[in-house]
Amino acid sequence: MGGSRVDYEQHGRTYGRHRRSDPRIASRIHAALGDARTVLNVGAGTGSYEPRDRWVLAVEPSATMRAQRPEGSAPALAGRAEALPFDDDSFGAGMACTTIHHWQPPAAGLTELRRVVRGPVVIFTFDLDHLPPWQQVFLHEGLLVERPRFPAIAEVAAVLGGRTRVEEIPTPGDCADGFVEAFWRRPEALLDAAVRASQSMWAVLGPGEEARLVERLADALKSGAWDAEHGHLRRQSTFEGSLRLVISEAPAPAGTDRLSFAGPPPHRVPE
Ligand SMILES: C[S@@+](CC[C@H](N)C(=O)[O-])C[C@H]1O[C@@H](n2cnc3c(N)ncnc32)[C@H](O)[C@@H]1O
């Protein structure tokens, strides 16, 4: 686990334009939150996937991201997953969407989230091995940098501990949330610099690499090579790909071992 940091003060400036809740994914997240009335959303960004029918508190380190939260959104505190300023068992449920790969390290934030939540903890993340095969080829160099940042799904479940299950979510062909896999049947979208600007993978690439990857895809689309090999995808409505919910129903019973992790110890609020 671990890797390069993405600066959301810079990188997040247009996030809200292309990264919005997809209603089909949202309904799966909300179901997994159970009947909890209080929800903590960590790495909350602009507020995607926050339920509207419960009391929500968001934690988000980037002022640029907090500033894009629509009017009427839940209150958002400046803070990081690795040091949540709450007592144990403060919230009925917790959620973290497409953010754990930014945590330093992910296990520290997961342990903190589990500590401050009494009921379900819901992690929406990606299993990069299940990205569409064409993305694995065309984005190969980018994924080499991305992979070490993403904890394995089994590791996320093990760190959360307790009764944990993993759900797979099909990616809709018209997915409203513009993460990379969302464009599995709309490859042209990745040629749009504004779409890429709201995907953190591009921000961790070396100089010139983004242009090289985009050019390769543009060439394959222009020549018809992409459609010759992958064009059947354009007629599919969903793709069984990388989207995963890791749901920890309840904290591990006292005395249960969790995976150890390298990094700073979780913050505790002094008694
Ligand atoms: C891809 S965005 C996801 C935002 C939102 N959850 C969503 O689904 O749209 C990743 C977010 O993680 C936040 N983040 C980065 N490092 C973090 C950390 N250590 N603790 C909590 N959030 C962090 C970023 O500022 C950014 O808002």
C-alpha distances out from residue 23 to 57, 61, 187, Å: 20, 25, 22
For CA atoms 201, 216, 169, 69, give the dihedral sign.
Answer: positive
Q: Report pLDDT for 253.
A: 61
The model carries a pTM of 0.91
From ligand 1's centre to the CA of 262, what distance in Å? 21
| Domains observed in the chain | 8-248 (3.40.50.150)
CA angle 253, 254, 260 (to 5 degrees): 95
Q: Report pLDDT for 255.
A: 52
Alpha carbon distance 95, 113 (integer Å)? 8
Alpha carbon distance 236, 181 (integer Å)? 14
CA angle 185, 44, 179 (to 5 degrees): 10
DSSP 258: -
**Smallest CA separation from ligand 1 atom 23, residue:** 43
From ligand 1's centre to the CA of 46, what distance in Å? 9
Q: Report pLDDT for 266.
A: 37
Three-class DSSP labels, 157-226? HHHHCCCEEEEECCEECCCCECCHHHHCCCHHHHHCHHHHCCCHHHHHCCCCHHHHHHHHHHHHHHHCHH
Mutate to test the pocket of ligand 1, among 99, 146, 200 (most ligand atoms within 8 A of CB): 99
Ligand 1 pocket list (CB less than 6 A): 8, 19, 42-46, 48-49, 60-62, 65, 80-82, 97-99, 102-104, 109, 200
Which tokens belong to 177? 């949330």
Q: Report pLDDT for 250.
A: 78
Q: State whether residue 135 is helix, strand or coil.
A: helix
**Smallest CA separation from ligand 1 atom 8, residue:** 97
From ligand 1's centre to the CA of 89, what distance in Å? 22
Q: Report pLDDT for 197.
A: 92
How many of the other CB atoms lie within 10 Å of CB of 62? 22
Beta-carbon contacts of 39 under 8 Å, excluding residues fewer than 6 positions away, are: 33, 50, 51, 54, 55, 56, 57, 91, 92, 93, 94, 95
- Specify the ligand 1 atom closest to the Cα of 43: 22
**Smallest CA separation from ligand 1 atom 10, residue:** 99
Q: How far is CA 66 from the centre of its chain?
A: 16
Q: Report pLDDT for 9.
A: 76
Q: What is the pLDDT along the chain (271 residues), one digit of tens a residue?
A: 334 577 777 776 778 788 999 999 999 999 999 999 999 999 999 999 999 999 999 999 999 999 999 999 999 999 999 999 999 999 999 999 999 999 999 999 999 999 999 999 999 999 999 999 999 999 999 999 999 999 999 999 999 998 999 999 999 999 999 999 999 999 999 999 999 999 999 988 988 999 999 999 999 999 999 999 999 999 999 999 999 999 999 775 655 544 443 444 333 333 3
From ligand 1's centre to the CA of 47, what distance in Å? 10
